[in-house]
Amino acid sequence: MNVHSAKYKCTECGKCFQNNKELMKHKLSHSGEKPFECSVCGRRFAASGNLALHSRIHSGEKLYKCYVCDKAFCQSNDLQAHMRVHTGEKPYKCSLCDKSFSKSCNLQRHKRLMHSDRRPRQCPYCGMQFKASNALETNAELKRHVCIHTGAKLYSCRHCSDSFMWHSQLKAHLLKSHNEGTWFTCDVCEKKFSRRCNLKNHVLQHEDVFRPYVCSDCPKSFCTAAGLKHHCLVHSDYKQFCCCLCYKCFKYKECLVRHYKRCFMKLGYRL
């Protein structure tokens, strides 16, 4: 960088820029200011370029296409993450055990749940303890859990008097009753879903879907590595989900959730 450009220097970190516009843009990373707001969902961004990328989610513009299964994505990083479904690549490795993950968020969740002994908060109703990466997250997890006992509905609709226990229920309500938010549409039959995970499960039902992941123990095949992994538990005795009340273990999370509610009632707790 030449001497002239050095005059556009950030006083916070010392970085230099070619012009004042770039310096002003950079300073937003220190101030936390996000002047660019999405007109659809209200989410804010520090840079106009980030807002432009985000806007593709609402416009449906999908420029990045998978060459294996023809799926398309609004952002390049979404395509990169998707390609790991086909390659099986898991670049995010836990430094405390031998497990690897395809997404960094999955690695962070794994560390928080499996390698952290900090359980700073406890449920006043059932004694269940919570651990998380920070106090704010721990408090939020506990607050959501307590709703199971109290029946409290923390999420209220701003358009009507309805309220909900879970944020996902509010989002579904806003879509279905007030047409607010983004529908997830099947590219094959154009059926709409309020949640992305429901769309993913639906897509698997189409017979002509590409299924590159084949079980080594039976003829079944799957669209994603996660689907195959979930299926392989059928052939395994491994039970990773444990009830904190009676310590009974299950292969599948959904089985634990169903059991958990019955266990509460059996032990005399109020749901």
C-alpha span between 163 and 147 (Å, rounded): 13
pLDDT at residue 104 is higher than 50: yes
* Whether pLDDT at 81 is above 60: yes
- Give the integer Cα–Cα distance in Å for 55 and 29: 21
75 contacts 58 by C-beta, under 8 angstroms: no
Q: Please tell me which residue, 214 or 119, carries the higher pLDDT value.
A: 214
Judge whether 221 and 213 are in contact, CB under 8 Å. Answer: yes
Strand, helix or coil for residue 24? helix
Residue 264 contacts by C-beta under 8 Å, 6 or more apart in sequence? 126, 148, 245, 270, 271
**Residues 6+ positions from 115 with CB-CB distance below 8 Å:** 94, 96, 97
Mean pLDDT, residues 173-184: 87
Band the pLDDT of 46: cuts 50, 70, 90: confident
Please classify residue 207 by burial: count the beta carbons closer than 10 Å to its beta carbon, then call 0-12 exposed, 13-18 middle and 19+ buried.
exposed
Query: What does the block give as tokens for 172?
Result: 């579904």
For residue range 116-172, what is the model confidence (pLDDT) as tens digits? 655 556 777 777 776 654 555 557 777 777 777 777 888 889 999 998 888 888 888
151-166: pLDDT as tens digits: 788 888 999 999 888 8
Structure tokens at 264: 């509460």
Residue 210 pLDDT class (50, 70, 90 cuts): low
From the candidate CATH numbers 3.30.720.200, 3.30.160.60, 3.30.70.890, 3.40.50.2000, the one assigned to the domain spanning 5-67 = 3.30.160.60
Residue 160 has a pLDDT of: 92
The answer to whether residues 150 and 140 touch, using CB atoms and an 8 Å cutoff, is no
| Mean per-residue pLDDT over the chain, rounded | 76
Provide mean pLDDT across the span 65-78: 78
Q: What is the pLDDT of residue 4?
A: 46
What whole-number distance in Å separates Cα of residue 74 and Cα of residue 65? Answer: 9
